[in-house]
């Protein structure tokens, strides 16, 4: 099974980084961008830093695709959507209730009761054929189905966001969940689970004031165990550790590629100036 995991990781990494020609095009684009700016940091480091930053931003998408592919290894789970933007409808009552749930943090001991009230509103109003619905495009990270039970999984790398971003993540997860309830016309909360999944195990907001830790908020190995996946979180850790060392040579090669592009540009510009003289 580990060979399949390795294939999934390597394929996903290629999708994020791109081919050599795509990397070269990205470098040229970044050079054009940074060459216009006055800065004390050398051009090659600003360019390479921009390249690394773009990969870090795309790492979130990589995790969604990667986790979706890992889940797909289990035969009795159907992966319906991975990293897709979908038009989803939410009624006014649900939107207001979700916003109140996030904006007005109550007693943590009453969280279970508040969540039950929230889900009651979602399944009561957001499954009606008529009503005041607002349709918006929303990012659906992972939606799976096992038997008659759907599960929406919101994927995040780390539980280390500032308060405003943390609130937005939970708000987005709940509104996406509510929109999917409407899209798939699910009228029984027992048939639709919500999971906010952090790939790493570190905790900043614990316990969560919005979702139940250990049930709706899962970290690291907890998702793998909950879904009883054929690979373990430890398997993934080992593969990532190996790739961390293997990819170092690739990134050294990318830096050499960047140096060559900048050098060729400088030589071309100097040659053009000599011709003019």
SS (H, E, C) 217-250: EEECHHHHHHCCCCCCHHHHHHHHHHHHHHHHHH
Tens of pLDDT along the chain (277 residues)?
Answer: 566 888 888 777 877 888 889 999 999 999 999 888 888 888 899 999 999 998 888 888 889 989 999 999 999 999 999 999 999 999 999 999 999 999 987 788 899 999 999 999 999 999 988 889 999 999 999 999 999 999 999 999 988 877 789 999 999 999 999 999 999 999 999 999 999 999 999 888 888 999 999 999 999 999 999 999 999 999 999 888 887 777 888 899 999 999 999 998 888 776 544 444 3
75, 81, 82, 85 alpha-carbon torsion, rounded to 10°: 180
Strand, helix or coil at 276? helix
Q: Which of 266, 254, 255, 260 is nearest to 20 (CA)?
A: 254
Residue 107 has a pLDDT of 84
How many C-beta neighbours within 10 Å does residue 101 have?
A: 22
Which tokens belong to 199? 């790939």
Residue 213 has a pLDDT of 95
User: Which stretch of DSSP H or E encloses residue 105?
Assistant: none
Q: How far is CA 224 from the centre of its chain?
A: 17
The sheet that has 149-156: what strands, in order across it?
78-91, 133-146, 149-156, 192-198, 217-219
| ∠ Cα 241 68 75 (to 5°) | 110
Residue 220 has a pLDDT of 95
Residue 275 has a pLDDT of 40
Burial of 112 (0-12, 13-18, 19+ CB in 10 A): exposed
Residue 2 has a pLDDT of 65
CA dist 44 → 17, 251, 257, 261 (Å): 18, 14, 11, 10
Q: Contact at 8 Å (CB) between 199 and 156? A: yes
Residue 159 has a pLDDT of 86
Beta bridge pairs of residue 196: 154, 217
């Amino acid at each position: 099974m580990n060979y399949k995991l390795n294939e999934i990781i390597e394929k996903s990494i290629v999708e994020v980084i791109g081919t050599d020609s795509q990397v070269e095009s990205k470098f040229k684009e970044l050079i054009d961008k940074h060459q216009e700016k006055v800065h004390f940091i050398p051009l090659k480091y600003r360019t390479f830093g921009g390249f690394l930053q773009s990969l870090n931003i795309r790492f979130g998408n990589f995790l969604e695709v990667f986790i979706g592919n890992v889940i797909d290894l289990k035969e009795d789970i159907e992966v319906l959507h991975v990293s897709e933007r979908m038009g989803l409808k939410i009624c006014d009552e649900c939107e207001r209730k979700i916003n109140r749930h996030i904006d007005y943090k109550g007693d943590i001991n009453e969280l279970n009761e508040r969540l039950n009230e929230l889900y009651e509103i979602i399944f009561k109003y957001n499954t009606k054929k008529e009503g005041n619905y607002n349709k918006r495009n929303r990012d659906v990270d992972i939606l799976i189905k096992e038997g008659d039970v759907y599960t929406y999984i919101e994927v995040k790398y780390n539980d280390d966001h500032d308060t405003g971003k943390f609130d937005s993540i939970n708000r987005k997860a709940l509104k996406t969940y509510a929109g999917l309830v409407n899209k798939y016309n699910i009228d029984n909360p027992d048939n639709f689970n919500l999971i906010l999944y952090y790939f790493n195990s570190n905790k900043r907001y614990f316990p969560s004031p919005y979702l139940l830790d250990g049930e709706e908020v899962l970290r690291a190995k907890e998702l793998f165990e909950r879904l009883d996946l054929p690979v373990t979180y430890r398997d993934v850790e080992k593969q990532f550790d190996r790739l961390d060392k293997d990819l170092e040579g690739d990134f050294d090669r990318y830096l050499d590629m960047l140096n060559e592009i900048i050098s060729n540009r400088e030589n071309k510009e100097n040659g053009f100036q000599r011709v003019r003289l």
